[in-house]
Structure 1
Amino acid sequence: MPDTLFKSKRALKVAMVAGEASGDLLAAHLMDALLARYPDIEFAGIGGPRMEARGFVSHAPQSRLAVMGYAEVLKRLPELLRIRRTLRDRLIAEKPDVFIGIDAPDFNLDLEAALKRAGIPTVHYVSPSVWAWRPERVQKIGRSVSHMLCLFPMEPPLYRQAGVPVTYVGHPLASEIPLRPDQSAMREQLGLPQRAPVFTLMPGSRIGELEHMAPLYIETAKLLLKSYPDAQFLVPLATRPTMELFDRMLTRCKGWDLPLRKLFGHAQMAMIASDAVLVTSGTATLEVALTKKPMVISYKLSALTYRLVKRKIRLPYVGLPNILCGRFVVPELLQKQATPAKLAAEMQRLYEDQDARREMVQTFTELHQSLRQDTAALAAEAVLQVAGRQ
């Protein structure tokens, strides 16, 4: 890492850390809104390609922070601590006008606490899931952040009750995705038959997820093909490493003869074109809901990580659509329940049960409307207030 993160002494200096692809996207939208107000802002810290395309200077690879599960984090802990310690010391020395931690709470909150003690205002963008597990974190968050930016409407009351300044900004995907996506036009664009069953498989955006989920989804696709011989399968993958890993899984599972098309990115296109989606739990489940597609949520963790997490979960569901609606709108098949036979049966039920599909789509439409805010502008306004520029 170079001796200085920022070049100018006069420009507004904003430090940021975004730990994975979803944070890179959130940060990029926020940067656009901030640059519209202050075109000479300097951004530095740790970020991804979308941030770098907007002038962000990243001083460590974002990919080094994207780690899944307790067991996996322990293996990489010395490196993660070294990256955080080095960045902390640089920022305390240079004193940016504001630091913004984009999600990644395990990395960012301790960093934010140290910066706040050093007199640097801190904003955390995306509340940790305190409503689902480890609610005691609200107190630690209050000691770490000057302001919290929340994506979901049930979060601000929890912070206000604890005396933490907070702003509800909505979810940026709700503004990007149309309320009524056009399936027919998307199938035409992708060269898919209009009447054939189309299933999208989303085994995850991280290597660790893919290793657990890809074989399961490939075997599920084989079973669906037996029920629907004219079915088509779409698999959007976010990076070259995940595409290469999925290819290896196809070979291992002898799935090369499946009528399956991999897409490099273009996840929303795959969702919109499909009849139903099989998706690994995470942010992608909200994206599927916003495209109004029936889905089955699945997830598998290492046995050690699952035992540790299960003890702390407060809610009976893990998928964001279910959490936001406060009930089981979407079926969830996790750990031992996640078998090819059970996943294929649920996907088949959703494809054939028109009443269930209509009810799910109506619920997703109402959810979409509740999350639709001018997210980036609201977040930028809060950041500038914290930085003393409003």
Structure 2
Amino acid sequence: MKVFLIAGEPSGDSLGAALMQGFADLSSDCSFAGIGGEGMEAAGLTPLFPMSDLSVMGLAEVLPRIRLLRRRIAQTAQAIADSRPDLVVTIDSPDFCLRVLRKARAARPDLPVVHYVAPSVWAWRPKRAARMAPLVDHVLALLPFEPPYMQAAGMSCDFVGHPVVAAPRASEAEAQAIRQSDTVVLALPGSRGGEIARLAPRFGQALGQALPKGAQVLVPTVASQAEQMRAQVAQWPVPAQVVTDPARKRAAFRAADVALAASGTVSLELAANDTPMVIGYDMAPLTRMIAERLVKLDTVTLVNLVSDTRAVPEYLGRACTVDNLAQGVRDLLGDPARQAAQRAAMRLTMDRLGQGGERPGHRAAASCLAFMSRKAGGGPAPAP
């Protein structure tokens, strides 16, 4: 089976790599083409072009790169037409992926399509599922409450578990080896260039206000953003070390006492490592204005949503100020009860995301194969 995959950012690359491994475990005749990053390359994908071309978010951030993105959309659709895959799997990045699918489906209306990561219609823009349905047949959901939203729009959908529950974690010895202070803090100002430019200066200033003298600050990041992150960190009022090696990043997540992090999947990585956190996030002014009108929830942090608590403090948009972030970190560092409440919410979150069960990448691949069997008329193959 020829599978064409499209991932547009580091979190999607991780999903894609695990999915490729799941396909390899379940089927001996799978081959892969498409777009991905370091993880998917390691799993055997030769990317059509660098995934970093697609790693932008928000209207204000996209506009300067619109010509490049249009070329990449056309190039990707043509690659699908040329390779004639048995299955296309688009992974997150819906704005890019759906534009590709419109072109690909126009050329081949019967093209089987799976989308990995259900759009967050429960949070904002609820009509996105209905707009996606003409282009997508089947959805792989990371969160247990998402399938009914997709099914109501006319797509089949399986909850396959979140990959964070199967991610490798550092040992206690590895965590202790990276600790050089009584207080270890992670700073995680995002994985996209725009996020880093916008959030890293605030995070650095906030930590300068909040941390005791001698605290150790570790800044895990992806290799593609390391140079930009180092340039930012060099301007911080506190010494900080950028970490790119995967094993050392895992050790940093386990070793940390608290974290100051951008909103996103990283909150689940911290939860998996039992690390209490403060969340901060902001967008370009135009994007923020649009988001303020559209977001319908009182929290965007996944730990809060999955656990149905509000244990993790978050400072979003105009509230994402240096003073607020600093106070949030101080409050968390100095209050064991706050830390305990977060850890209880984290444990509940991990249970609900499938910790201890079958690996999500394996479940995702099984769901794709079951979908293909149904589409081929082979009957209701069991879902994961």
Say whether the fold is shared (TM-score over 0.5). yes
1:239 pairs, out of 213, 220, 223, with 223
Contact 1:99/1:112 (<8 A) preserved: no
Q: 1:115 to 1:387 in 2, by over 3 A?
A: farther
Instruction: Report deviation, 1:251.
Output: 4.0
Give unpaired runs (5+ residues) of structure 1: 1-11
Structure 1 stretch 126-135 or stretch 318-327: which is displaced more?
318-327
Q: What is residue 248 of structure 1 aligned with on the other side?
A: 231
Q: Encode CA deviations 1:41-94: one digit per residue, 9 max, x unaligned.
A: 221111112212222121111111111221111221222122112221332344
Structure 1 stretch 103-112 or stretch 151-160: which is displaced more?
103-112
Q: 1:94 to 1:261 in 2, by over 3 A?
A: closer
Q: What is residue 127 of structure 2 aligned with on the other side?
A: 136
Q: What is residue 241 of structure 2 aligned with on the other side?
A: 261
Q: 1:49 to 1:290 in 2, by over 3 A?
A: same
* Whole-angstrom distance in 2 between the partners of 1:39 and 1:189: 41
Tell me the matched-pair count.
368
Q: 1:153 to 1:47 in 2, by over 3 A?
A: same
Q: Which amino acid aligns with 1:106?
A: D
Give SS of 1:296's match: strand
Instruction: Report deviation, 1:13.
Output: 0.7
Q: Encode CA deviations 1:200-238: one digit per residue, 9 max, x unaligned.
A: 11111111111111111111121123xx22321111121
Q: What is residue 177 of structure 2 aligned with on the other side?
A: 189
Instruction: Report deviation, 1:113.
Output: 4.1
Instruction: Report deviation, 1:124.
Output: 0.2
Give SS of 2:294's match: coil
Contact 1:116/1:122 (<8 A) preserved: no
Alignment of 1:285-364 (within 5 A): 285-364=267-346
> TM-score scaled to structure 1, two decimals?
0.89
Q: What is residue 9 of structure 1 aligned with on the other side?
A: none
> TM-score scaled to structure 2, two decimals?
0.90
Q: Which amino acid aligns with 1:282?
A: G
Q: What is residue 276 of structure 1 aligned with on the other side?
A: 258
Instruction: Report deviation, 1:114.
Output: 4.1
Give SS of 2:34's match: strand
Contact 2:21/2:362 (<8 A) preserved: no
Give SS of 1:233's match: strand
Give unpaired runs (5+ residues) of structure 2: none
Contact 2:309/2:345 (<8 A) preserved: no
* Whole-angstrom distance in 2 between the partners of 1:221 and 1:230: 12
Say yes or no: does 1:382 pair with 2:367.
yes
Q: What is residue 211 of structure 1 aligned with on the other side?
A: 197
Q: What is residue 230 of structure 1 aligned with on the other side?
A: 214
Contact 2:138/2:157 (<8 A) preserved: yes
Q: 1:250 to 1:143 in 2, by over 3 A?
A: same
Q: 1:383 to 1:332 in 2, by over 3 A?
A: same
Q: Which amino acid aligns with 2:63?
A: L
1:62 pairs, out of 45, 51, 54, with 51
Q: Which amino acid aligns with 2:142?
A: L
* Whole-angstrom distance in 1 between the partners of 2:71 and 2:372: 27
Give SS of 1:387's match: helix
Give SS of 2:177's match: helix
1:34 pairs, out of 23, 26, 38, with 23
Instruction: Report deviation, 1:366.
Output: 1.1
Q: Which amino acid aligns with 2:27?
A: Y
Instruction: Report deviation, 1:112.
Output: 2.8
Instruction: Report deviation, 1:191.
Output: 4.3
Q: Encode CA deviations 1:342-390: one digit per residue, 9 max, x unaligned.
A: 2122111111211121111011101101112421121111212333486
Q: What is residue 161 of structure 2 aligned with on the other side?
A: 170
Contact 1:149/1:169 (<8 A) preserved: yes
Give SS of 1:57's match: coil
Q: What is residue 25 of structure 1 aligned with on the other side?
A: 14
1:95 pairs, out of 84, 91, 114, with 84
Instruction: Report deviation, 1:152.
Output: 0.1
Instruction: Report deviation, 1:243.
Output: 2.6
Q: Which amino acid aligns with 2:80?
A: L
Structure 1 stretch 29-38 or stretch 118-127: which is displaced more?
29-38
2:116 pairs, out of 125, 142, 156, with 125
Contact 2:12/2:92 (<8 A) preserved: yes
Q: What is residue 143 of structure 2 aligned with on the other side?
A: 152
